[in-house]
């Protein structure tokens, strides 16, 4: 080879970049996020079905914000005709506590890697945090609203 | 026609993934076996091709005409375009790789009607440069952003990039700027090929195929993010499982995820066999990556045969007696 040293060094760097996730995850448990606890009683019911909420909660929150702030509506009628007060407190009644370490899920290694210590993310143990940290999605709710700890009063 | 073949090929690939997962129930094939195979083919093929290129002899230094070569002291040398130092070469390569310096020099040639008949006119043509720049940078950012699905905890630089990319906070989930730029740029690169007759004439199926593939990958990704919401937590667990060699097929993931991952796998496997290898090849551009020191340093042609040198001294040692006999002058007695 001509200039073999440089070419092979560059290839090693390239392969190192490609295999970065393999080495980064090496020896860590693939536990998934901690499972948030829903403080649900027999009578309470979520605004929309859980499947829908999982996929579209952010859009529902945006819709709530717009209808409250721009149209002055204070109530939301869901797909089953049930009425809810448009307020974050409606959510936080049930979805306000912390998490328990993940014990189930698709892949079940023993231990849980826990939360992320990262300045960009919320490090509290509130409901939203574990999944949002896991997917690296930072909700903008708390840049205006006061934190969810007020909800438990 | 050539574009149509490539388009049909991509459609067939999408159908294979859809039918394979939905009808044949082979989600572990499309989710696990195909990605692993593609990764091996990609890394192996890439390394193989670069090493093969590395075995070709390096040609004599090619001083490029786009910059003044080092000459007399009162002539100003263009230190980046025609470098005589390693640093100059590094800067020149960086400009080439990061900002496509050569493409920036792209010109267009036209025949225009002048006062005395047709006139040849040259002009600057920056759209291709700009389109490729947007395309490649968006692609890079999108690839880095995908790291958030492969590693846990997510490093700060990935989060920062993610935040910057969605900084306009349009809609929820926030629209990534690179998603928009990427689709626009791919569309531009494609339209350029079919709308400019000269470019269309030289375009091959191998030019259209990657464009269609990349476009389909982008669209399937955008659909998954904004329209058919997929379970991101399950997908991340699956992706980390792949990286840890303990893949578990997630339950209840839509077929669009398999289409996305299958197209990505095919693109990766196709990579070393195709023009996409310019990713590695650009580093080996002979007119860009060599110091222009033809006359400052002695360069030996790498394929010169090794010849035995017979100097006059040896010659005289061999024939001294005979030379003396016939009366030829010798240097040593």
- How many domains, chain B? 1
Residue A85 resides in a domain: yes
Mark yes or no for CB contact B159/A138 under 8 Å. Answer: yes
Give pLDDT, residue A132.
86
Residue B152 resides in a domain: yes
Give pLDDT, residue B40.
96
Q: Which residue has the higher pLDDT, A148 or A43?
A: A43
Residue B47 has pLDDT above 90, yes or no: yes
Residue A43 has pLDDT above 70, yes or no: no
Q: Which residue has the higher pLDDT, B36 or A117?
A: B36
Report, as an integer, the average pLDDT of B91-120: 91
Residue A3 resides in a domain: no
Q: Which residue has the higher pLDDT, A147 or B182?
A: B182
CA angle B189, B192, B194 (to 5 degrees): 115
Query: Distance of alpha carbon A127 from its chain centroid, rounded?
Result: 8
Report, as an integer, the average pLDDT of B108-128: 89
Q: Which of residues 7-26 of A touch B (CB under 8 A)?
A: 7-8, 10-11, 14-15, 18, 20-22, 24-26
Chain B residues whose beta carbon lies within 8 Å of the beta carbon of residue A4: 54
Could you list the residue range(s) of the whole structural domain that residue A117 is in?
A: 31-152
Residue A144 resides in a domain: yes
Nearest CA-CA distance, residue A97 and chain B, Å: 20
Closest chain A CA to residue B169: A140
- How many domains, chain A? 1
Give pLDDT, residue A87.
83
CA angle B157, A132, B224 (to 5 degrees): 85
Residue A26 resides in a domain: no
Give pLDDT, residue B169.
83
Could you list the residue range(s) of the whole structural domain that residue B206 is in?
A: 2-325
Distance between CA B218 and CA B180 in Å, rounded? 10
Please tell me chain B's helix, strand, coil percentages from 3-state DSSP, rounded to the nearest 5: 60, 5, 35
Closest chain A CA to residue B230: A55
Report, as an integer, the average pLDDT of B215-241: 92
* DSSP codes of every residue in B179-236: HHHHHHHHHHHHHHHHHSHHHHHH--HHHHHHHHHHHHHHHHHHIIIIIS---HHHHH
Preferred mutation among B54, B173, B228 to probe A, highest tally of A CBs within 10 A? B54
B160 touches chain A (CB under 8 A): yes
B45 touches chain A (CB under 8 A): no
Report, as an integer, the average pLDDT of B175-193: 95
Q: Which residue has the higher pLDDT, B80 or B63?
A: B80
Residue B192 resides in a domain: yes
Closest chain B CA to residue A8: B51
Give pLDDT, residue A3.
83
Residue A21 resides in a domain: no
Query: Distance of alpha carbon B151 from its chain centroid, rounded?
Result: 25
Preferred mutation among A107, A119, A139 to probe B, highest tally of B CBs within 10 A? A107
Mark yes or no for CB contact A136/B148 under 8 Å. Answer: yes
What are B285-323's pLDDT values in tens digits? Answer: 988 989 988 888 888 888 888 888 889 999 999 999 999
Q: Which of residues 124-153 of A touch B (CB under 8 A)?
A: 131, 133-138, 140
Chain B residues whose beta carbon lies within 8 Å of the beta carbon of residue A117: 153
* B152, B159, B171 member nearest A134 (Cβ): B152
Cβ(B10)–Cβ(B213) below 8 Å = yes
Alpha-carbon dihedral B3, B9, B12, B13, rounded to 10 degrees: -120
Q: Which of residues 52-81 of B touch A (CB under 8 A)?
A: 54-58
Residue A10 resides in a domain: no
Distance between CA B253 and CA B229 in Å, rounded? 10
- ipTM, two decimals, is 0.85
Preferred mutation among B28, B240, B257 to probe A, highest tally of A CBs within 10 A? B240
Give pLDDT, residue A41.
65
Helix (H, G, I), strand (E, B) or coil at B85: coil
* A21, A61, A131 member nearest B151 (Cβ): A21
| Percentage of the residues of chain A whose pLDDT score is greater than 90 | 12
* A30, A58, A116 member nearest B154 (Cβ): A116
Per-residue DSSP letter, B29 = I
A62 touches chain B (CB under 8 A): yes
Mean model confidence pLDDT for chain B: 91
Per the listing, tokens 């700009």 go with: B130
Residue A107 pLDDT class (50, 70, 90 cuts): very low
Residue A136 has pLDDT above 90, yes or no: no
Q: Which of residues 64-93 of A touch B (CB under 8 A)?
A: none
Residue B272 has pLDDT above 90, yes or no: yes
Chain B residues whose beta carbon lies within 8 Å of the beta carbon of residue A1: 51, 54-55
Residue B91 pLDDT class (50, 70, 90 cuts): very high
Chain A residues whose beta carbon lies within 8 Å of the beta carbon of residue B284: 7
User: Where residue B106 sits, what CATH number does that domain have?
Assistant: 1.20.950.20
Residue A105 has pLDDT above 60, yes or no: no
Give pLDDT, residue A104.
42
| Percentage of the residues of chain B whose pLDDT score is greater than 90 | 62
Residue B147 resides in a domain: yes
Residue A124 pLDDT class (50, 70, 90 cuts): low
Residue A16 resides in a domain: no
Q: Which of A19-28, A40-49, B320-329 has the lowest mean pLDDT?
A: A40-49
Helix (H, G, I), strand (E, B) or coil at B155: coil
Residue A111 has pLDDT above 70, yes or no: no
Q: Which residue has the higher pLDDT, B333 or B79?
A: B79
Chain A residues whose beta carbon lies within 8 Å of the beta carbon of residue B148: 135-136
What are A51-96's pLDDT values in tens digits? Answer: 888 888 888 888 888 898 898 888 888 888 888 888 877 887 777 7
Residue A115 has pLDDT above 70, yes or no: no
| Total CB pairs under 8 A between chain A and B | 118
Q: Which of A105-119, B67-81, B91-105, B176-190 has the lowest mean pLDDT?
A: A105-119
Mark yes or no for CB contact A21/B233 under 8 Å. Answer: no
Report, as an integer, the average pLDDT of B139-167: 91
Mark yes or no for CB contact B229/A118 under 8 Å. Answer: no
* B54, B231, B236 member nearest A2 (Cβ): B54
Query: Which residues are paired to A85 by β-bridges?
Result: A75
Per-residue DSSP letter, B30 = I
Mean model confidence pLDDT for chain A: 74
């Amino acid at each position: 080879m001509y200039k073999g040293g440089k070419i092979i060094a560059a290839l090693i760097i390239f392969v190192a970049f490609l295999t970065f996730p393999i080495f980064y995850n090496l020896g860590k448990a693939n536990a998934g996020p901690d499972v948030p606890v829903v403080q649900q009683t027999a009578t309470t019911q979520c605004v929309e079905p859980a499947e829908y909420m999982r996929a579209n909660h952010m859009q529902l929150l945006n819709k709530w914000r717009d209808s409250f702030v721009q149209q002055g509506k204070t109530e939301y009628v869901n797909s089953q005709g049930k009425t809810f007060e448009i307020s974050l407190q409606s959510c936080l009644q049930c979805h306000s506590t912390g998490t328990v370490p993940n014990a189930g899920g698709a892949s079940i290694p023993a231990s849980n890697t826990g939360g992320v210590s990262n300045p960009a993310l919320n490090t509290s143990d509130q409901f939203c945090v574990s999944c949002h940290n896991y997917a690296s999605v930072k909700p903008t709710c708390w840049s205006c609203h006061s934190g969810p700890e007020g909800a438990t009063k | 026609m050539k574009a149509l073949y490539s388009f049909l090929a991509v459609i067939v690939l999408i159908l294979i993934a859809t039918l394979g997962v939905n009808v044949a129930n082979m989600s572990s094939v499309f989710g696990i076996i195909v990605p692993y195979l593609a990764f091996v083919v990609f890394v192996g093929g890439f390394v193989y091709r670069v090493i093969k290129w590395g075995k070709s002899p390096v040609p004599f230094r090619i001083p490029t005409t786009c910059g003044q070569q080092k000459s007399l002291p009162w002539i100003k040398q263009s230190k980046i375009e025609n470098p005589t130092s390693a640093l100059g070469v590094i800067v020149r390569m960086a400009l080439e790789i990061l900002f496509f310096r050569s493409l920036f020099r792209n010109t267009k040639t036209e025949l225009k009607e002048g006062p005395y008949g047709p006139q040849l006119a040259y002009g600057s043509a920056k759209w291709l440069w700009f389109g490729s720049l947007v395309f490649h940078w968006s692609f890079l950012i999108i690839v880095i952003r995908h790291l958030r699905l492969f590693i846990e905890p997510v490093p700060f630089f990935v989060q920062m990039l993610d935040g910057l990319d969605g900084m306009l906070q349009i809609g929820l989930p926030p629209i990534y700027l690179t998603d928009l730029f990427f689709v626009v740029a791919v569309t531009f690169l494609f339209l350029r090929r079919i709308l400019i007759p000269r470019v269309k004439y030289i375009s091959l199926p191998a030019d259209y195929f990657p464009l269609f593939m990349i476009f389909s990958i982008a669209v399937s990704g955008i659909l998954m993010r904004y329209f058919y919401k997929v379970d991101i937590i399950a997908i991340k667990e699956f992706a980390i499982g792949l990286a840890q060699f303990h893949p578990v097929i997630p339950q209840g993931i839509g077929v669009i995820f398999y289409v996305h991952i299958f197209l990505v796998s095919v693109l990766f496997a196709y990579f070393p066999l195709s023009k996409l290898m310019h990713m590695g090849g650009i580093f080996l551009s002979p007119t860009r990556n060599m110091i222009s020191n033809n006359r400052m340093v002695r360069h030996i042609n790498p394929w010169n045969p090794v010849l035995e040198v017979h100097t006059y001294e040896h010659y005289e040692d061999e024939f001294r007696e005979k030379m003396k006999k016939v009366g030829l002058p010798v240097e040593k007695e």
